[in-house]
Structure 1
Amino acid sequence: MSHHIRTVVVDGHTLTRFGLTGLASAQPDIVVVGETGLGAEAAAIVATTAADVVVLETALPDVDGLRVARELRDRNPGLGIVLLTSNGEDDVLFRALEMGVSAFVAKTAPAAEVLAAIRHAAVAAGSFSASGLGQALARRQAAGAKAMLSPRENEVLALLGAGLSVAAIGTSMYVSHSTAKTYVARLYQKLGASNRAQAIMAGLRLGLIEQERPAVALARSGSW
């Protein structure tokens, strides 16, 4: 007989907990061995039921679900931890990653995604799975790159992307032509670019330039 994934559900919303329990129990490879609405009870239930996976809500009524996840991970490196959240913000996702959870799933996700997360957590507790991870990492990279540039350099990049010449950038920013050239040179240096096209490509890659109507921008371009 194949091993069933022994699962504990920790969710403060009674209906959600019943729904998750019913969904998981209906699977031939998953058995729900415990459930609670309180984070404070999670560790004891996981221990007494010898659970393989815990499905844990972030917004528990008594404690922070992420803190519960951290405590569970510290006690049991092999435990699969699936974090359910109604708050899909990037900072929650990265905190979940740092807390050592196995999977991060939005409460609005399809049932199949929740079940896939439980199965992933059962076999790969130490790896991290989240459907939005790639996009979140891209947004974090863009935010870091934006901070790397000064407000003036961000402005220069946007104007370059819109196809303005260095002279036109100087006029637009109310600075001299030589000052505009200095801004452009500094921007190229930070982006590792040697010309306008490379700077624009780097800006697009880092998410610093919105990719809108490039044909219009190119048509407006006075000098490259």
Structure 2
Amino acid sequence: MTIRLVAVDEHVLLRLGLNRVVATVPDITLVGEAGSAAEAERVVAETRANVVTIDASLADSDGISLARRLRAASPDLGVVLLSAVSDDNLLYRALDAGLSAYVTKAAPIPSVLAAIRHAAVAPHSFTAPGLSSALSRRRGQTGLLSQREQEVLSLMRDGLSLPTIAQRLAVSEATVKTYVSRLYSKLRVNNRSQALMAAVNQGLLVSADAA
């Protein structure tokens, strides 16, 4: 499979450099370039790209906001977010937004190519150099879930309803709702499926298939 790549960056030299890099490998073809978010939406649609690299800071849009718009039009589009500097908070945002990969512009060429290839074959699975260390730092910042929150999360994974969870834990349903609200806040999500996905990605929960 040849990866159809679009590079979105307002710096022409970076796009030129990426073009030279992918020209040396047989499985990636740069089919389009864009210097702005507005241009990117058109180019990605016209070229039928399956992977896009996006500068985290564009003049007319936040890179993650652009990624969301592109994904709305092409749900299986692989998205690699590029950043000028290593930034844990930006990595967390990319992870939470469901992007495919995060890598700095100073990363070694093999790392950039690996991120693009990952995005092509697993667009909804996130990867980044140093991801495990970054997630450990995140847990240190936000604090691990309490024992009871972890129990609620595990029962949610098992598909139990809130009233059933309340019965299982011998607490009121209102108390369970409070735990769930805290979980959503800590994981920065809005519903059960997002919470379970975020918990698995952050190593807070074993997936149902692996349990």
TM-score range, shorter chain: 0.5 to 0.7
Q: In the alignment, residue 72 of structure 1 is paired with which amino acid?
A: L
CA distance in 2, matches of 1:25, 1:39: 24
How high is the TM-score relative to the length of structure 1? Answer: 0.62
- Tell me the CA shift for residue 67 of structure 1: 0.7
Please state whether the residue corresponding to 1:130 is helix, strand or coil.
coil
Tell me the residue number matched to 1:4.
2
Structure 1 unmatched runs, 5+: 149-224
Which amino acid letter does the alignment assign opposite residue 95 of structure 1?
R
Any conservation in 2 of the 1:69–1:100 contact (CA below 8 Å)? no
**How far apart are residue 77 of structure 1 and its match?**
1.6
Amino acid of the structure 2 residue aligned with 1:84: L
Measured in 1, the distance between the counterparts of 2:45 and 2:39 equals 10
Most deviating of 104-113 and 131-140: 131-140
Question: Alignment identity in percent?
Answer: 50
Match of 1:17 in 2: 15
Selected match of 1:131 from 129, 132, 140: 129
Alignment match, 1:73: 71
Cα distance in 2, alignment partners of residues 82 and 33 from structure 1: 16
CA distance in 1, matches of 2:132, 2:94: 15
TM-score under structure 2 length normalisation: 0.66
* Aligned twin of 1:62: 60
Q: Secondary structure at the match of 2:58?
A: coil
Letter in 2 for 1:37: G
Query: Would you identify which runs of 4 or more consecutive aligned residues in structure 1 move more than 4 Å?
Result: none
Distance in 2, matches of 1:97 and 1:38, equals 23
| Bigger Rg over Cα | 1
Matched, 1:97 2:95: yes
Equivalence for 1:174: none
CA distance in 2 between partners of 1:66 and 1:145 (Å): 25
Matched ranges for 1:43-192 at <5 A: 43-145=41-143
Following the alignment from structure 1 to structure 2, what is the Cα–Cα distance between the partners of residues 117 and 82? 7
> Which letter does structure 2 place at the counterpart of 1:141?
R
What CA deviation, in whole Å up to 9, does each residue of 1:102-146 have, x standing for no partner?
Answer: 010011100010001111110000100111211111111112239
Alpha-carbon shift at residue 21 of structure 1 (Å)? 1.2
